Amino acid sequence: MNIIQTGTSLLTPAELEDSWEEAAKGDKLNSSRTNGSYNDTKVVRIYLSTRQEPLQSVVLEARRAPEDKITHVTIFSPLPKPVEE
């Protein structure tokens, strides 16, 4: 994975994902969402990809530990496939 951006937010992971999902609505993007909890740390991911060529994708991840007051945000994309020779 290729990390594009990292940061923090006062919003909860679910609030961030809801806003990202709303912003991505439309005819040109596919989206899917996962919600998880690992050792009580809430982790939410939304996967976005284009429907037409050139195909591109990005993953938005928000995670917050139970004792934290901020959410850690990472935006990344898959690395391109190597060119076969």
List the one residue out of 41, 44, 50 whose CA is nearest residue 73: 44
Question: What pTM was estimated for this model as a whole?
Answer: 0.79
Range of the domain at 31: 2-77
Each of the 85 residues of the chain gets a pLDDT tens digit; together they read 788 899 999 999 999 989 988 888 877 888 899 999 989 999 999 999 888 888 888 999 999 999 999 999 999 987 766 667 6
Domain assignment present for residue 52? The answer is yes
Domain assignment present for residue 24? The answer is yes
Domain assignment present for residue 42? The answer is yes
Domain assignment present for residue 84? The answer is no
Domain assignment present for residue 82? The answer is no
Q: Give the model's pLDDT for residue 23.
A: 85
Q: What is the CATH number of the domain that holds 14?
A: 3.40.1000.10
Q: Give the model's pLDDT for residue 12.
A: 93
Domain count of the chain? 1
